[in-house]
Chain A
Amino acid sequence: MLKILKYSFYDLMRSRWSYVYFIFYLLLGFVLLFLNNDVSKAVITLMNIIIVLTPLIGTIFGVMYYYNSREFTELLLAQPINRSKIFMGQYIGISLSLTLSLLLGLGIPFVAYGLFKSAAIFDFSLLLVVGSFLNFIFVALSYNIALSTENKIKGFGYAILMWLFLAVIYDGLFLISLMIFNDYPLDKFSLIATMFNPIDLSRILILLKLDISALLGYTGAVFRKFFGTNVGMLISMFILILWVVFPVFRINRKLRKKDF
């Protein structure tokens, strides 16, 4: 698996898109910090970008890589290697290269700016952790879609649709249902609904750092327990890990029955 990982990683690290992605983050970091001179504001803007963009890029890279390397994958499948190792190698290769683009692209400007002396270091590291998780989650989700869809165009469409659903539509439905069932106690519902969407979950994790003063304004006991203690942080992190584990598990299950 490590060998496949290594080559997928090399391959991607040399692709133009990895550079575009890397340079995008690099520019973003520099622009935010040096034109703005305000680390807190930079972190908030970055959060908005990271929770929307990393899933999108992860999804697109995942599907593209799967469909583009289909023939090569066939060649690999004829080699004496376990199927799931091939795909896990590719999966980790893509996720890692994307994560590296993110970490370096944002890390360099922030280090250059002198982040280590700033109090925002924790918020910033959390952003990077969440961004990395989102990469791993969305590449896994898009691999699931690609594995289940033979047609490249359809697969691409489904993947984008999934992103759109999780990034925007889900929250819309969520908000509407909160408003419709206004008369009922909704704190449990709203927390659980958050857990079912990795983008929302990541957002909550960052909110726990950035907007804790607002979050504690709500009266519900469940809310208070969740946001007021470390419970929220731990649960969110744990579920974020599950969001990686389940799609990966499903990839492996799907592979057992899959024809190439």
Chain B
Amino acid sequence: MIEFKNLHKSFGKLTVLDGLDLSIKKGGIFAILGPNGSGKTTLIKCLLGMVIPNKGEINFNNKSVLKKWEYRDNLNYLPQIANFPPNLTVIELINMVKNLRPKESEESKLIKLFGLEDFLNKKLGNLSGGTKQKVNIVLTFMFDSELIILDEPTTGLDPIALIHLKELIQEEKAKGKTLLITTHIMSVVDELADEIVFLLDGRIYFKGSIEALKKQTNNNNLEHAIANLISKQYA
């Protein structure tokens, strides 16, 4: 479904992606992991067309995405930091995003799920970080797309909201969607991920199931397994 071929990206002298190759098949949850600065966000942003690679090719459903924008109608993205125009109300924002995409949306169920009914007419500038993140999640999941990209989705959420989010993710998976998640919370990975993509030095260091990772590192605990991978970098 998604293919990255020989992807290079550097910001000034700092090389972030260095000839990365990765292909992700349709369906399932993929956790993109790696130490800070390993290029997770850059990789996602390349796919989203927000970062323009120096070299390489990205295909989505067998079509190149570079310099295109129409393909984005078939993916949903949850950005890392939720910061919205402070003077718009929640409902206006939701309507605006709906307005921007020609697709059908079902936000009402999600609004109820996250208990946002009372906030609909509040200005976004007056919301707490957690509530903003909930709005952010609603905006992401209200469209029916084949690919869903979540960048640190758990930031600032209370436990109940977190449970709802996990349920949502599972639901989408059940519908046969492809989900890309970056996170530092290993329990989430352990719970949700079908496959792990581990980035190091701008390349794919490991790609496979959690089991395979545990086996490779001889470690039964995922957290330690990952730590093991990272420590190799420093060794």
A residues adjacent to B (C-beta < 8 A): 3-4, 7-8, 10-12, 14-15, 68-72, 74-83, 256-260
Contact = CB atoms under 8 A, between A and B. Distances in A.
- In this complex, the member of B11, B92, B100, B136 whose beta carbon has the largest number of chain A beta carbons within 10 angstroms is B100
Interface in B48-74: 48-52, 69-73
A80 B96 contact: no
Nearest to A82: B69
Interface of B: 11, 45, 48-52, 69-73, 75-77, 79, 81-88, 92, 96-97, 99-101, 136, 139, 149
Contacts of A14: 87-88
B79 A75 contact: yes
A157 to B, nearest CB: 20
A78 B79 contact: yes
Given A3-B99, A7-B96, A77-B50, A260 B139 contact: no
A83 B139 contact: no
Contacts of A260: 45, 50-51
Given A75-B77, A79-B97, A82-B69, 7 more contacts: A7-B85, A7-B96, A68-B83, A71-B81, A76-B100, A78-B79, A260-B45
B82 A80 contact: no
A69 B85 contact: yes
A121 B4 CA distance: 63
Contacts of A81: 69, 72, 100
B87 A78 contact: no
A259 B53 CA distance: 9
A81 B70 CA distance: 7
Given A78-B72, A80-B72, A11 B50 contact: no
A250 to B, nearest CB: 17
Nearest to A13: B87
B123 to A, nearest CB: 8
Given A7-B96, A14-B87, A81-B100, A74 B72 contact: no
B100 A72 contact: no
B84 to A, nearest CB: 5
Contacts of B97: 75, 79
A79 B50 CA distance: 11
Contacts of B72: 78-81
Contact of A78 (B48, B86, B99): B48
A11 B101 contact: no
Contacts of B51: 259-260
Contacts of A68: 83, 86
Contacts of A75: 77, 79, 84, 97, 136, 139
A95 B177 CA distance: 42
Contacts of A257: 52
Closest 7 pairs between A and B when the two form their complex, measured CB to CB: A71-B83, A78-B77, A80-B73, A14-B87, A80-B72, A11-B85, A259-B51
A11 B86 CA distance: 7
A11 B88 CA distance: 6
B52 A80 contact: no
A81 to B, nearest CB: 6
A80 B68 CA distance: 9
Contacts of A82: 69
Contacts of A11: 85-88
Contacts of B73: 80
Nearest to A11: B85
Q: Which of B50, B77, B92, B101 has the most CB of A within 10 A?
A: B50
A72 B85 contact: yes
13 contacts: A3-B99, A7-B92, A10-B92, A14-B88, A15-B86, A72-B84, A75-B77, A75-B97, A75-B136, A78-B77, A80-B71, A257-B52, A259-B51
A92 to B, nearest CB: 15
B52 A259 contact: yes
Contacts of B52: 256-259
B146 to A, nearest CB: 13
A15 B45 CA distance: 30
Nearest to B67: A256
